[in-house]
Structure 1
Amino acid sequence: MVDPLADQIRTFIGEIRMFGGTCFTLNGNMMVGTMKDGGLLVRVGEDQEAAALALPGATRMNFTGREMKGFIMVAPGELGDDAIKGWIAMASRFVGPMAPKKPTRK
């Protein structure tokens, strides 16, 4: 499957496959992920959420009718290289201090 947004993000950070999609992590903790519509899911945490929601194309994550605090969805039209770098930086500020996740045994 060709995923232009995932290809764009790969130039900045590594990736893993999770839940049938492409998820980008830092020390095993989810940072950002691609959406089927070409948008971006970003984990910013509650402390950065207000600043994130003020950025172009940003809304709180809502997959099932229930909003999730600390997770932001960004519209596809707002994802140029500089914007993606900014979102990754914001996600890194939240996820970076987290303890590394231990690999799960299968």
Structure 2
Amino acid sequence: MAYDEHLSDRIRQGFAELHVTAAEKKMMGGLCFMVNDKMCAGVVGETLMARIDPALYEQALSRPGAREMDFTGRPMKGFVFVDLEGIDEDADLQYWLQLCLDYNPRARASRRRKSA
């Protein structure tokens, strides 16, 4: 699955405006932005993937364009998909990126796989 290059550019710009360095990694059929070696945000198709504080999960789902991230077939608490209608304005995208960054210091890094 290809990912939306325009949305990727907007996320890059958003992180730059917040003075955040994010590494990019292609994964899950999309593009993931890693901050402090932890998944922070991403693009899957035309959708923003936001990793947020699980305590804010239900509140976040009430925002326009937000829905459960069900990439694996079941909802993942702390991960939210946001469709284009919810990030159409730059201020809306910045809101989501800031939520991701607020949670990032407390987020657990994934375990690294050992090479065979």
Please indicate, yes or no, whether the TM-score normalized by the shorter chain is above 0.5. yes
Match of 2:9 among 7, 10, 14: 7
CA contact (8 A) 1:5 1:34 kept: yes
The alpha carbon displacement at 1:98 in A equals: 4.1
1:68 partner letter: M
Identical positions, percent: 29
Match of 1:34 among 39, 43, 49: 43
Distance in 2 of aligned mates of 1:96 and 1:12: 18
Bigger relative contact order (CA 8 A; separation at least 6): 1
2:50 is aligned with 1:48 = no
Question: Which structure: greater strand fraction?
Answer: 1
Misfit runs of 4+, over 2 Å: 12-15, 96-106
**TM-score under structure 1 length normalisation:** 0.82
Q: How many residues align?
A: 105
**Gaps in structure 1 of 5+ consecutive residues:** none
Q: Tell me the alpha carbon deviations over residues 53-80 of structure 1, each in whole angstroms, 9 at most, x when there is no partner.
A: 1111111101232111111000112212
**TM-score under structure 2 length normalisation:** 0.76
Question: Which structure: greater helix fraction?
Answer: 2
* Pair 1:45–1:7, CA change in 2 (3 A): same
Root-mean-square deviation over aligned CA pairs: 2.4
- 1:85 aligns with 94
